[in-house]
A and B are shown apart, each in its own frame.
Chain A
Amino acid sequence: MKILGISAHYHDSAAALVVDGVPVSAVQEERLSRHKNDAGFPSNAIEWCLTNAGLEADDLDAVVFYERSMLKFERILTSALRTFPYSWRSFPHAIKNSLGEKVWVRGIISSYLGVPRKKILFTAHHASHAAAAFLTSPSRRAAILTADGVGEWATVTAGHGTRAPGATDITLLREIRYPHSLGMLYSTFTAYLGFAVNEDEYKVMGLAAYGRPTMVEQVRKLIRRTPDGGFALAPEYFEYETTASRSYSSRFEDLFGSPRTPFEPIDMETTEGRRFADCAASVQRVLEDTLVEMARALHDETGLPDLCLGGGVALNGVANARILAESGFQRVFVPPAPGDAGCALGAALYADRIYFKNPDRDIPDHPFWGPAVDARELAKAATEDGQTVQELDDARLVERIADDLAAGRVVGWMDGASEFGPRALGHRSILASPQSREMRDRLNRDIKRREEFRPFAPVTPLETADRYFELPSGGARLGRFMSGVFPVRPEYRSALGAITHVDGSARVQTLDQAMAPRLHALLVAFGKRTGLPVLLNTSFNVAGEPIVNRALEGYSTFRRCGIDALVAGGVVVTKAAAPPREVAS
């Protein structure tokens, strides 16, 4: 069967194609449209998925949308009614927003693809998250926990799944419903701290390491635990239900002080800077505690050793590591795309296994479902621009790049198909030596152009990861897709200064040789030169832009920032001095 999954209209729209039970392509719309977090209908992504598989829309057996759009509309209306008359400002906006496109999704898909309406199916939002987490994992039986901002009504779900020939099943047992939402709680603090909602939540996590959780009691006024192990938010501190422009109330400000305005620098030497960091640390602590307790209860209930985590909250690597350490689960699986983009794949797999009851198939355990890089495209453009271009075989290329990295140069690395999900896991990465703090500052300032408090992640071969990082049992698995934050061993913290965060931790990627053999060879070669088979690995983009996809996008990024060398396949480009400005008149 050929099933196309689509997620769209809120954030991170994407398409994924499953053929005979196995993904063949998946890509976020932003990677093709080049608009970060593109939420529009993913026409480019759909077109690429079909073309890549050599299919026409007529060949599809089903198209699955990742949530039930009318149920979502019902939630929006009900929410407006429940908060009457305070929702009068948000009501016109919400209705226009929904009636413009979102509720007509069946018609939009049908007219865009030219497929009959009966072929268009829907899954529940959190069922898509659950499927993306469980059906892509190697686990046969697992507990499932999903958490995000909000889907239709659910914001958190708990259940379990079984994969067996002819008996694959996902059962979501219970849910916590909007407006009570861990994702909205965290996003409210994201807005309060002056960052962009639905985009910069990871900055809050990074900032938390600089602070102390001194405001946990205040945060606990916002979120009360219920006797059944769930939670409820105190509505008087939030405004996301009643206004479209502000998510926290003045009572929230009374509790935590004045919010940070965007563009205001966060200086940890000042009282204000420390207050913001403490605020981030406090909400981070409460989020972790809540998730750990819910996961522990689910473990006690199911008795299963494996947990699959889905939803945007599963991008919180610090919380994931605590769940692994404290909930009782032996293994925790987080897919490479746990957020809404991953729902495109989840919805397609859910339809394949649950709706159509097709036999279970193992899913290749990697994130590389996107478009492949074309090295010739890079060679042509760089040659035309007078850059130094070399074509090398794999062995020589690895040695050459290892030399560059050991000499402190920064390398743009493009290899094969791009990653599906927000993490660069070795196919669209900026690589650098992990050894000095100066490298971290240089990358933040000259290349990524982002806040100086932001940490960078390391990548290291799976077989040596434990030497440099304190990985608990199951930690290496969580590190496969960079989903857990673990301590750097104290004796290596200064030697790994560029990737060791202020609290001594790192969001490490443990690289299995089979997943990215060239990067693995590069790590080994770098290790021979420096004694440390560890590289700084950050996504190949600059602030505000999506991760690069095509070779030319890598090239334009390389030309605009301080990257010293660029690799695509076997082509290496070294930066030449900028030519004088050409004005042809």
Chain B
Amino acid sequence: MDFKQLAFYFFAAVLVFAASMVITVRNPVRAALFLVLAFFSAAAVWMQLHAEFLSITLVLVYVGAVMVLFLFVVMMLDINLVRLREGFGEYLPIGGLVAVLLVLEMAIVLGSGPFGIEQMPEPAPLPADYSNTRALGRVLYTQYLYPFEIAALILLVAIVAAIALTMRRRKDSKYQNPGKQIQVQRGDRVRLVKMRAEKKS
């Protein structure tokens, strides 16, 4: 077993461990942190496949942004752990059955036939100066320009819809207008009143 294989098995083991901890650990914050660890291990595995752009983007987007917001919400939740575990025994047989079926199906698909591992020989090693990022960008903006732009547009619509659904303008909340604040002159706010000194009576 050479170093590459060793590294793969290490990261794969960490990934599986972290993923199983996500669903078994009791504290939701710790579960979210284990999910972060799982993303990291997945990024390391992708890095071994020479997919450095996808790998770093996974860390950037999921670890750097999505999970931060996730933690943000989870930390403020007041979750009743006892109620969460209610009905665990009821669902266990069905869930276990589904899991076993999934593993079996995967084993059958990967084990033989057109999707077998022998159908996918190891790709030729790329030269050291090969830039995955450059290649991806070139393909994305020429060959797949329309699908890419359509996906971008759908995401934009989703953002607008999310904002439109959650935004509520309350009549009684007060806003400041920074432009007006800057434009204000002394004369608008202060009124000088001349008063003659009063005489002592």
Q: A and B from one assembly?
A: no
Q: Which residues of B come within 8 Å of A, CB atoms? A: none
